[in-house]
């Protein structure tokens, strides 16, 4: 059949004139060219698909690597802010080793306990060991990391406060150096004093970076980004703008220093104006609350003693009958101690916000408030118990 069709096509071509034959050949050539292009396009499309798939895989790998390095750089920045020089890998190893040591100690204690107590089954012991090395180990790891980061956050906050405290004195010295004829980088370097603490360490880092080739404005900008301090960022932004504009830096540094001192004095005045509220809250949580709770406890004891001494007949004309008090003195003592814990905790935080303007400053007051209030409650309870016991 194909041969017949081919013979028929050849006969038709022979019968066609020369002009139509050329057109027919052109059409066939165009069809062949189009078919070859389609084949090439399909191959290229497949190649492009493969390239895109490989590119996506490489992009995922790069994103994973970049996210890992970003997390690592964040940890390094967090450690440098707190003034701790340690590699993240070494830190991870230490935390992991601490968790392993604690888990081993607990496992050894369990082994010793179950070797003495023979009433428990061995299956229960193995369940406890699995719990210690799985769920408890994960909880311990989380708890250690949480406590470590909380400690870093407090160290970072304390360093920030120290930098804000010594910044105006440092800028005054730098202003005097600039007016004496020094360049800006040398003026900042020679204004460093050991008493400035973390500020002197940061200026040393800036000096090393500028010596290695980094611009002074970039080093100052990165220094401002490392700490969450609006005062420091505002002062450094003014200094950077002054350096870029080419203005007179001696007067600018002096004005910035005076501005910071004025803001610090205003904060102290505001804290002094609201100190009455802080005194009232401190007195009510440390003195008044333990006093009232101790008196309430003694009143409860008196009522229970009186009720136990009264003998009421079952069929009396009053229409009611006295029974024992539902709340015992032990229950009331637990309630009082829990109440003092909560009130002391929040009182310390409120006093810190009133005086310093930040909750983190109240963390050091929390154990003092709790210890004083509970100790005073126990002391007053003992004193009132002795006095009322003699009377009754």
Cα separation, 329 vs 57, in Å, equals: 70
Mean pLDDT of 159-185: 88
Q: How far is CA 83 from CA 79, 124, 188, in A?
A: 6, 47, 21
Other residues' Cβ atoms within 10 Å of the Cβ of residue 241: 12
- What confidence category does residue 376 fall into, taking pLDDT thresholds of 50, 70 and 90? very high
Q: Going by C-beta distance under 8 Å and a sequence separation of 6 or more, which residues neighbour residue 365?
A: 348, 351, 352
- Which of residues 41 and 307 earns the better pLDDT score? 307
Helix (H) or strand (E) holding 230: helix 230-245
Both tokens of 17, joined, read 């004139």
Phi-psi region of 328 (alpha: psi -120 to 50; beta: other; left: phi over 0): beta
* Cα–Cα–Cα angle for 254, 257, 263, rounded to 5 degrees: 140
Contacts of 297 (CB under 8 A, 6+ apart): 329, 332, 333, 336, 381, 384
The total of other beta-carbon atoms located within 10 Å of residue 176's CB is: 16
- Give the pLDDT confidence score for residue 9 in this predicted structure: 52
The dihedral formed by the CA atoms of 241, 247, 248 and 253, expressed in degrees to the nearest 10: -10
pLDDT of the residue at 95: 86
Q: How confident is the model at residue 3 (pLDDT cuts 50, 70, 90)?
A: very low
Q: What is the biggest distance separating any 2 CA atoms in the chain, rounded to whole angstroms? A: 142
Rounded Cα distance between 150 and 156, Å, is 10
- Note the pTM of the prediction, 2 decimals: 0.65
Residue 232 has pLDDT above 80, yes or no: yes
Secondary structure letter of residue 267 according to DSSP: H
Average pLDDT over residues 378-386: 84
Taking residues 384-389, what's their average pLDDT? 74
In contact, 354 and 274? CB cutoff 8 Å = yes
The mean-pLDDT minimum among 24-33, 146-155, 204-213 falls in 24-33
């Amino acid at each position: 059949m194909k041969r017949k069709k081919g013979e028929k096509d050849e006969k038709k071509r022979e019968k066609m004139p020369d002009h139509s034959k050329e057109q027919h050949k052109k059409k066939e050539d165009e069809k062949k060219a189009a078919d070859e292009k389609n084949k090439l396009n399909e191959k290229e499309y497949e190649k492009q698909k493969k390239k895109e798939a490989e590119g996506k895989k490489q992009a995922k790998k790069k994103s994973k690597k970049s996210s890992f390095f970003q997390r690592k750089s964040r940890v390094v920045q967090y450690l440098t802010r707190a003034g701790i020089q340690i590699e993240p890998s070494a830190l991870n190893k230490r935390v992991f080793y601490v968790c392993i040591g604690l888990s081993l100690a607990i496992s050894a204690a369990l082994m010793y306990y179950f070797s003495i107590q023979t009433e428990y089954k061995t299956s229960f012991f193995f369940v406890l060991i699995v719990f210690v090395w799985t769920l408890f180990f994960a909880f311990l790891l989380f708890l250690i990391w949480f406590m470590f980061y909380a400690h870093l956050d407090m160290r970072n906050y304390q360093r920030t406060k120290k930098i804000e405290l010594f910044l105006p004195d440092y800028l005054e010295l730098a202003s005097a150096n600039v007016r004496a004829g020094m360049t800006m980088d040398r003026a900042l370097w020679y204004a460093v004093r050991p008493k400035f603490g973390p500020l002197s360490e940061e200026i040393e880092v800036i000096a090393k970076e500028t010596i290695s080739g980094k611009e002074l404005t970039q080093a100052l900008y990165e220094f401002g980004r490392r700490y969450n301090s609006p005062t420091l960022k505002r002062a450094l932004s003014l200094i950077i703008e002054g350096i870029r504009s080419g203005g007179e830096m001696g007067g600018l540094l002096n004005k910035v220093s005076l501005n910071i001192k004025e803001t610090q004095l205003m904060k102290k005045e505001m804290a002094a104006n609201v100190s009455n509220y802080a005194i009232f809250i401190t007195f009510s949580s440390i003195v008044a609350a333990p006093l009232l709770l101790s008196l309430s406890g003694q009143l409860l004891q008196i009522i229970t003693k009186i009720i136990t001494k009264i003998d009421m007949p079952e069929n009396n004309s009053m229409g009611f009958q006295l029974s024992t008090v539902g709340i015992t003195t032990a229950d009331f003592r637990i309630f009082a101690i829990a109440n003092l814990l909560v009130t002391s905790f929040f009182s310390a935080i409120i006093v810190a916000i009133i005086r310093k303007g930040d909750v983190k400053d109240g963390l050091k007051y929390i154990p003092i408030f709790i210890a004083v209030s509970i100790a005073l409650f126990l002391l007053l309870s003992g004193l009132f118990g002795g006095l009322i016991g003699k009377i009754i």
